[in-house]
Amino acid sequence: MTCQNCVRHVREVLQAVPGVRRVEVDLSTGETTVNRSMESNGHTTQDLIDAVAAAGFTARAVSAGVEASTASRRPANWDQPLILGVVVTLFLAAGEWIFGWHGMAWFAWTGFVLGSLVQFHTGREFYVGAWNQLKRRRSSMDTLVALGSTAAYLLSVAMLFRGGEGHLHFLDAATIVTVIRLGHWIEARVSRRSEDALRSLMALAPETALRQEKDGSEKRVPVSALGLNDAVVLRPGDAIPTDGTVIEGESAVDEAMLTGESMPVDKRLHDRLYAGTHNLNARIVMLVTGIGEQTALARIIEAVYRAQTSRANIQRLADRISSIFVPLVIVVALLTAAAWMFAPETMLGAHAALAGVLWQPRLPEATWVTALMHLAAVLIVACPCAMGLATPAAIMVSANTAARRGILVRDGVALEKAGYIDTVVFDKTGTLTVGEPRLMRFVTYLGDDARPALDEMRVAVSLARMSSHPVCKAVAGYGCEPYAIRDCREIRGRGMEALLELDAFQTEPYVLRLGSLKWLGGLGTDFSRAVPFINEWAAKGGTLLGIAVNQHLMGVIAVRDGLKPGAAEVIDQLRRRGCLVCMITGDHPASARAIAREVGIDEANVFAEAGPDAKPELVANLQSSGRRVAFVGDGINDAPALERSDLGIAVQRASDISRNASDLVLLRSDIGVIPEALGLARVTLRKIRQNLFWAFFYNVAAIPLAALGFLSPMLCAVLMGFSDLVVLGNALTLNWWRPQLGAPVKVNNAESQDP
């Protein structure tokens, strides 16, 4: 491998092997680490080697010990062939440009010997890469470098053995090989910075843990030796080795590296702990509940890696062009040589016409020398790597930046889609609100002779305790004894229903219901007596639940969920960015409007009493009007809308990642990162476009200039390496991106309106 494009190809072919979970390729050492699942479907290490060979590269399996010894033999910063190339190139340059030795016979033969060493030792990787690709009827950047440097080298050899007349170009050949290899050395080290976030995540979990034995003693063991239900002692300052729950003690835990939360989180008995976080100020004991790939940290690492190595749609055009680029450049180079050889007057005329506008370089005197030098220049200056790296480099850095801010990006396509969003739809509960409702008040309705002789709150608690919905949890916490109900079922987006038989003499079981007023009203329950209570709490933004037995109204409960801190600021930021903001909820319309007023959402964009099917329908209606819609939900009942939207954003805790199918996952409940995520995506798209523009502009401009004699092969080598670094450097600026929340962003069709 000679460049990051080679790294990308190797990674892609290995990922295509069934059972491969993760591939890490290090260009600087030439080492590849493959992480495979337990179910590899019979595929062996030889299958991995064959996959690499089919892509035009060679590979061999090494053990951990061999790998370590191989790495230890490498110089800390430079490899030996590159050092040789730099020393020889500097010597030849000094001899020609400073000491004036270029006309001396001894210097010509010294240049031949030293140039040959550089050509075939420093440049060996280019020849090997070109030959491996040629055997599979392919071509790559190695092909261009090998052909271009060989043309300059053989030209000089031919001139030397014909008597040494004219200017020899051993310096050009050595410079081509050395500068391009130096550029790839720099590229390898620059590109490693784009993977910093992933390496930081992988380094979070400690290698050992303090296990508490059954007799109460403590033993330091490798983390790999821990099993489920083991007890682990955590002292102040310890990194938490696995996922678990607190079974003894209380402490504060720093979860910043995992979730982006800056403040420590207090942990008490039965609270969840996550691998990679840090215990801060007290001794606690945890029970191991997740190890290895079952931990939240492992799933986060997997998500970040998947995003880094994925492709965006915008990359397909660059890939198609890159696939035919090298053969096309070879054809252009041959045509250039033929034109300078057989039609020199025409080429000199074109050269002279542009020289007055550009600059006047010195051309070789001999026609055949001019033809070969310009052929070499065209081959060297062309750079398919810049086109290949334009998109993946930006996506990798952007995924890392997002991960550091507590945002997991599913893949490059999700990041690309996020950059075009102009409408954001919020599900109210758990996104705009805290997601921990409290029972505020309830009212009982008597006076109906046919009213069943049941306690309305026992009915409510009996049903609520069977659901995991946050509103039901608030009701279930009311202190009363539940009834022994049967055949309980949850009707998604509406409420709970069950049967109750108090004794054997009851002719028919009672039908108990707890749920939305709209649902119960549709089943025949009369809420006319509850209108004052409903209006009062709806105006306060409360969620109203009706309690009914058969069709009889037993009572109404008011539950209220507090707004998340900063929710209004988030809505304001999105609107100033040009986004239409909507809210959808199953609440009473008055309650929904009250919440909308608090956060600053226009009442025309509030959709209340929405059943489970209404959310994806709303998304579809907005999309049909030409909008690109992001849906923000808590991942409980929002799966259809998250799937239907252009961009699904799930507000979840780290423990829920495995159940998530959204495009973006927020590892903390703070929705303030949503404007940041959309802003980062837009900046990433801008970087991708800038990289693609540079890659195309560079090649479109540089190849004609080289063909017409304005760029020497040495200068072409410098420019080719520089073009790669421009793309990588531009992508790396995303590491220092900061949201500019005060500046409005213009988005097409983003005026606030009633859809």
Kindly list the catalytic residues: 427
Say which residues have a Cβ less than 8 Å from residue 138's Cβ, sequence separation at least 6: 56
> Strands of 265-267's sheet, edge to edge?
265-267, 251-254, 278-279
Alpha-carbon gap, residue 426 to 585, rounded angstroms: 9
Helix/strand/coil for 547: strand
Give the helix ranges, DSSP H, for 98-162: 105-117, 124-135, 141-161
Sign of the Cα torsion 580, 581, 585, 590 reads negative
Q: For 434, phi and psi rounded to 5 degrees?
A: -65, -30
The torsion defined by the Cα of 512, 515, 517 and 518, in degrees rounded to 10, comes to -100
DSSP letters spanning 391-429: HHHHHHHHHHHHHHTTEEE--HHHHHHHTT--EEEEEII
Measured in whole angstroms, how far is the alpha carbon of residue 643 from the centre of its chain?
A: 19
Closest CA to 427 of 632, 663, 605: 632
d(Cα 73, Cα 697) in Å, to the nearest integer? 41
What's the one-letter identity of residue 305? Y
Q: Kindly state the DSSP code that residue 541 receives in the 8-state scheme.
A: T
Fill in the amino acid letter for 78: W
Q: Could you tell me whether strands 552-560 and 438-444 are parallel, antiparallel, or unpaired per DSSP bridges?
A: antiparallel
How far is it, in rounded angstroms, from Cα 173 to Cα 175?
5
Say which DSSP state 598 is in: H
- DSSP letter (8 states) at residue 229: T
Among candidate residues 466, 505, 468, 502, the one with its CA nearest the CA of residue 483: 502
626, burial (CB in 10 Å: exposed 0-12, middle 13-18, buried 19+): exposed
Residue with tokens 């279930």: 476
Question: Taking Cα atoms as reference points, which of 168, 13, 160, 33 lies closest to residue 95?
Answer: 168
DSSP designation for 288: E
d(CA 647, CA 423): 10
Q: Which of 276, 312, 310, 281 is nearest to 296 (CA)?
A: 276
Phi/psi of residue 725, each to 5°?
-65, -30
Distances (CA, A) of 235 to 111, 239, 244, 278, 295: 66, 9, 15, 10, 21
All residues at 6 or more sequence positions from 88 whose CB lies less than 8 Å from its CB, including other chains? 114, 115, 117, 118, 174, 178
Separation of alpha carbons 661 and 604, rounded Å: 30
> Which helix H or strand E contains 259, and what residues bound it?
helix 256-259
Q: Determine the length of the chain.
A: 755
Integer Cα distance of 695 and 296 in angstroms: 39
In DSSP terms, which residues pair with 23 in a beta bridge? 34
